[in-house]
Amino acid sequence: MHTYAALDLGTNNCRLLIARAAADGFRVIDAFSRIVRLGEGLSRNGVLSQAAMVRTLAALRICAGKLERRGVTRFRAVATEACRKAQNCAAFIERVAGETGIRLEIITTAEEARLALAGCAPLLDYRNRFALVFDIGGGSTELLWLGLDDGQSPRLLGWQSIPIGVVTLAERHGGMEIAAGVFERMVAEVAAELAPFEAAHELKRCVAEHPVQLLGTSGTVTTVAGVHLELPRYDRARVDGIWLAAEHVTGITNRLAAMSYAERAQHPCIGVDRADLVVAGCAILAAIQRALPLDRLRVADRGVREGVLFDLMREADADLAVGTG
């Protein structure tokens, strides 16, 4: 019985899952999530700031303690857009290894997309012919266009990573008090990045001719779901897998864009940590909705970490099969 762990260090968040295999996948025995803003200022300066590295190291030390206490036997730690872009990331990776014992692996955008899909795959609805899976991150947004055939694994028909996430977009346009028209300028910027992908795969034609699923994973979509449900505090069990009507999503994104920073900070599903980033996330979500005009969105509170766990479990099974487990 292995104990598995997956750590995902993104531009905005540091997330850890520790789990054991179960009949229906895995059972989480410990978890950790903290907003560290590793990529804060990166789009302007090209480097990870000292303050951001200190915040992130503090979170990683907590993760290292959990790994030791839980007796983790199989582990993978991945880092994404902030570490891909930062000029001083190699030194940061060495510092992390020296101070916490955690060896971060900087993964490509293609690997990030693959892991996000692996983590979200259980929420694909095979009554549809196609699906668009998207992951709105802090520094980038991944899009995967899939073909769905009942009884088979989803076919990857195309993917794109656009260099816009909630942190980069908020730093360009502001995230505190959003002036009139700024939200639409954010949406337009994202739409321009999406246009080649939309044209290449004829998304609007596919929507008109075939059943298509829209599946989103990120803090943005889970926040929108929490606001829609009017939760007094965020509850993953109620959010993960929920279907939201498109008009409800649009109404909430517009409402959040019109709120003051103080109003967003006071909302129990947003809080101070996300209040200056949530509108940027809503703009990315709005651009995706306009590119793929569907009646519903399914929300996934899962992604890269779950994909890593599934990989680790498959590798353990393969090792056991050849007698090296």
Q: Could you read off the pLDDT of 198-212 as tens digits, one per residue?
A: 999 999 999 999 999
| Beta-strand runs (E) in the chain | 4-9, 13-22, 25-35, 74-79, 105-106, 130-136, 141-147, 155-162, 212-217, 243-245, 296-300
Report how far apart, in Å, the C-alpha atoms of 9 and of each of 63, 79, 84, 209, 253 are. Answer: 11, 5, 11, 39, 26
Instruction: Provide, rounded to the nearest whole percent, the portion of the chain with pLDDT above 90.
Output: 86
β-sheet bridge partners, residue 79: 9, 106
Same fold, 4-107 and 110-304: yes
What is the full DSSP assignment across 48-106? Answer: --HHHHHHHHHHHHHHHHHHHHTT--EEEEEE-HHHHH-TTHHHHHHHHHHHH----EE
Instruction: Provide, rounded to the nearest whole percent, the portion of the chain with pLDDT above 70.
Output: 99
Residue 32 has pLDDT above 60, yes or no: yes
Residue 275 has pLDDT above 80, yes or no: yes
Each as own residue / partner, the long-range contacts of residues 45-54 (CB below 8 Å, 24 or more positions apart, any chain) are 46/85, 46/86, 46/87, 47/86, 47/87, 47/88, 48/82, 48/86, 48/88, 48/89, 48/92, 53/92, 53/95
CA distance between the termini of the chain: 10
Count Cβ atoms below 10 Å from residue 49 Cβ, excluding itself.
17
pLDDT score of 324? 57
Can you give the pTM of this predicted structure? 0.89
Superfamily (CATH H level) for 110-304: Exopolyphosphatase. Domain 2 (3.30.420.150)
User: pLDDT grade, residue 213 (50/70/90)?
Assistant: very high
Domain ranges of the chain: 4-107, 110-304
pLDDT score of 153? 87
Angle between helices 109-120 and 304-321 (to 10 degrees): 80
Q: How far is residue 175's CA from residue 279's CA, in Å, rounded to a whole number?
A: 7
Residue 325 has pLDDT above 60, yes or no: no
DSSP conformation class of 216: E
State pLDDT tens for residues 285-322.
Answer: 999 999 999 999 999 999 999 999 999 999 998 887 77
Provide the mean pLDDT of the chain: 93
Residue 323 has pLDDT above 80, yes or no: no
State pLDDT tens for residues 122-153.
Answer: 999 999 999 999 999 998 999 999 999 987 88
73 residue type, one letter: T
Residue 82 has pLDDT above 80, yes or no: yes
Query: Could you tell me which of 167, 160, 163 has the C-alpha nearest to residue 113?
Result: 160
- Residues 6+ away with beta carbon under 8 Å from 218: 134, 135, 136, 137, 281, 303
CATH 3.30.300.10 is held by the domain 4-107: no
Residue 241 has pLDDT above 80, yes or no: yes
Our measurement of the distance from residue 273's CA atom to the centroid of its chain's CA atoms, rounded to an integer in Å, reads 16
